[in-house]
Amino acid sequence: MESPVVMIHGAFCASWAFDNYAKLFEAHGAKVYTPTLRHHNLPAGVRSPRELGTTSTLDYAADIEALVRSLKVPPVLIGHSMGGLVAQMVAQRVNVRALALIAPSAPWGTLPTSPWEIMSAQGLYLAGQFWNKPLRPEAWIAETHALDMMPAKEREALFARFVPESGLATFEILHWGMDIRRATSVDARKVSCPVLCVAGAYDRVNPPKTVASIAKRYRDNGEYFEVDNASHWLIGEPGWERTAKFVREWIGNVTARVAA
């Protein structure tokens, strides 16, 4: 695989979230970059800076864009959850070879397709003015919705590594209808590369119908793939290897086709 691969983690995580994928892709000769999003690389027990609370998805995208522009050749972007949205935001600004979006959050204007998406957005108001402060990860939410396919001990160990997330970024994703800046807006016409959207059949965070609607935004460039017996943590839950293999082979095929 000639193009470097940039893997963008999701909310409440850091670069470690893509450890499995990075090792697999590197074993097949890829040059892999796993950046940690702004304010997410904190030692255990260290309180998040207040600046995290007002960090925008636009800030995350700007940092990834800077990395992409520093590379000698256009890379492939792989993004999980919020990282999948950031990847789309970057791809409309700078040339990339392909996008592989795994359980991606949806861009501005994408309607929810499930009651849980609506309830989770409304539930944020229980945290008060959540849009200007760091949001701490909640174990019961992560363990029942994002990590629900993980074995119990592994789920607890994984959640222990979670870090706070930006309230503003969360607002921009889940309450996009109230965001006058339209921070997460993506002009699909400016994304010229192949786009793969992968969903877990039992994912309630970013459910299959929502992920399929993202793929449709990219018309002929978009492709949708649903993983049976899988949930949101497609990058590490049991069976992640088959999903990663599919993603790696898809990238190889589309980049070879574009280069031909």
Residues 5-259, CATH architecture: 3-Layer(aba) Sandwich (3.40)
Q: Does position 64 have pLDDT exceeding 60, yes or no?
A: yes
Q: Does position 98 have pLDDT exceeding 80, yes or no?
A: yes
Query: Which of 118-132, 164-178, 205-219 comes out lowest in average pLDDT?
Result: 118-132
Q: For residue 89, what are its two tokens?
A: 């935001």
Over range 2-26, report the average pLDDT: 96
Over range 114-118, report the average pLDDT: 89
Q: What is the pLDDT of residues 229-246, one digit of tens each?
A: 999 999 999 999 999 999
Q: pTM of the prediction?
A: 0.95
Asked whether the beta carbons of 75 and 48 are under 8 A apart, the reply is no
Query: Where do runs of H (alpha helix) occur along the chain?
Result: 19-27, 57-70, 82-91, 115-123, 139-141, 152-159, 167-174, 208-217, 240-259
pLDDT at 146: 94
Asked whether the beta carbons of 108 and 182 are under 8 A apart, the reply is yes
pLDDT at 50: 87
Over range 141-157, report the average pLDDT: 93
Over range 8-16, report the average pLDDT: 97
Domain boundaries, the chain: 5-259
Can you tell me whether residue 168 is helix, strand or coil?
helix
Percentage of the chain lying above the pLDDT 90 cut: 86
Q: Counting beta carbons within 10 angstroms of the beta carbon of residue 259, is it exposed (0 to 12), middle (13 to 18) or buried (19 or more)?
A: exposed
CB atoms within 10 A of CB 223: 15
Amino acid identity, position 150: M
Average pLDDT, the chain: 94
Sign of the CA dihedral with 227 first, then 229, 234, and 237 last: negative
Asked whether the beta carbons of 174 and 124 are under 8 A apart, the reply is yes
CA distance 105 to 88: 10
- Confidence category of residue 127, pLDDT binned at 50, 70, 90: confident
pLDDT at 44: 59
